[in-house]
Copies of this chain bind each other. A is one copy, B any other.
């Protein structure tokens, strides 16, 4: 259903997270640390974060990332990279998924609550590039649209 409110909710000009779906998290974590990046204290055994000036570079196991995005793991089209935008209102997820469909994309995963909190949904652009739209009260969004994870 298209209404005026939906049409007026735009993708903002910020990518909150760039997530790489990796095959060996320890190896990837070691690589980015060796490149000179500092791991964020919110990192966990199953996910690694690096603060890229108000954007997070996240490392997450590839099959888990594909499953989270509603795609089959291990397929050629398996997700290896996702771009995320964190939104301030839970309702923005539905609005942006609807707008993606209206714009020629498709919904990969309807909004639902992951174990780590908040709510998120996924859409694919016309080529299948995957965007996550996430609302998470544990993630702060500053006035410039940059995201900040709480420590630990």
Question: Is the CB–CB distance between B13 and A127 below 8 Å?
Answer: no
A102's partner among B9, B34, B103, B125 (CB-CB below 8 A) is: B34
Docked CA distance A34–B81 (Å):
22
Q: Which of A14-22, A66-74, A113-121 contacts B (4 or more CB under 8 A)?
A: A14-22
Q: A57 → chain B, closest Cβ, in Å?
A: 7
Instruction: Tell me whether A11 is interfacial, beta carbon within 8 Å.
Output: yes
Interface size on A, residues (CB 8 A): 47
User: In chain B, what residue has the closest Cβ to A144?
Assistant: B53
- Chain B neighbourhood of A105, CB < 8 A: 31
User: In chain B, what residue has the closest Cβ to A22?
Assistant: B127
Docked CA distance A32–B51 (Å):
26
- Chain B neighbourhood of A55, CB < 8 A: 15, 55
Quick one: CB contact mask for A49-77 with B, threshold 8 Å, 1 for yes?
01111010100001000000000000010
Question: Is the CB–CB distance between B18 and A15 below 8 Å?
Answer: yes
- Chain B neighbourhood of A14, CB < 8 A: 52-53
A127's partner among B23, B53, B99, B127 (CB-CB below 8 A) is: B23
Instruction: Tell me whether A104 is interfacial, beta carbon within 8 Å.
Output: yes
- Chain B neighbourhood of A35, CB < 8 A: 10-11, 96, 99-100, 103
